[in-house]
Structure 1
Amino acid sequence: MSELVLPCEKELLLQVARGDEHAFSLLFNTYHHHLGTHIFRITDSLELAEEVVQDAFLKIWLNRETLTSVNNFKAYLFVVSKNHALNCLRKLAKERIVQKSIENIELISNTPEVIENNDYYNLLDEAIDHLPPQQQKVYLLSRHDRLKYDEIASKMGISRETVKKYLQVATHSITNFVQANHNAAVIILVAGIFF
């Protein structure tokens, strides 16, 4: 692996710290591809790697004054990016657990015991009806229309992160509502699957 070395990197970092966009552009153009490849190895996702690289450089720009104390920019950049990638992966893992929980609830709703009891479906509909309008719309677009986060964000004119947050909160609210209002037999069945 060849080392990327910028002439007078320390001077370039000082220029960036002073707000020089051209110097920042030079740093970005020098490191973004190499960094993206490194982050892709960690995340195994091109989309997530691109997001992490952009976020890392945004964070560096927003905190550019701290660059004056950086002695090895490449190491600094890679540590910032790796930490952000790991945080994103943890968040993604939590989202997948929530998604799996919803799928398990939907699977439970298809068991013969529950199919005989239409109260479950009514309770699920009631839980969805209790959601605030934006959360409800995000939830229905995701679960019923099977739209992806980006599609929902575009359709509703909100950010992808807002879509993810609304979906997490909605899922949590629905699960709590169903558990609090459903009969004990189904709660035991749900607990058996989740635990």
Structure 2
Amino acid sequence: MNMDADKDLVFRLHDDDIGAFDLLYQKYHQAIYRNIYKLTKDDDISCDILQDIFIALWEKRAEIKADQSVSGWLFVLSFNKSISHLRKKLREAAVVNAMPFAEIEQEDSSLHLIDDQYYLLHQAINQLSPQRKKVFTLCKLEGKTYEEAAETLNISKHTVKEYLGHAVAAVKNHIHEHQAEWKTAGVLLACYWVGIDQ
């Protein structure tokens, strides 16, 4: 897996290395864009949010822990910013109170909430078996297709789909079981993963 490479890039970010930032952008921007677009359904808005995500990565580079999954951090932040955009649109349409996102705090992209959400996601992923964890990370966090994950892990596409289905179910269950501990974090991440096509 690429965890060690990402850890090195985070250390380099701490040293203000723009090259490390560029490598993280190249590695994750397409997958993050796809997940933003699944929520916003708007190319221009998705590009704007994507830009905001990587601006935040650079601005908060000193606060990101090297032992965290930077991809998890990026995806949690992208989800929060996407939901903030949707809530703004809904408020403007005067129907926000009828939507399931009505209970989400404004500006959920605060670093504290991102840390809570990241930690819950990290917990959920870490309780997976090693192979399911690899499949989940490749397909959900790194945006790989079934074919790409199968080639990376040297297993069949069918096996990837089977592992991913079990992994997604386990992650959702973990989030639901622990959402009270992490306030809204569990609700947000549960909605997020439910919204991502398997």
TM range (shorter): 0.3 to 0.5
Larger radius of gyration: 1
- TM-score, normalised via structure 2 length: 0.44
- TM-score, normalised via structure 1 length: 0.45
Higher relative contact order (CA 8 A, sep 6+): 2
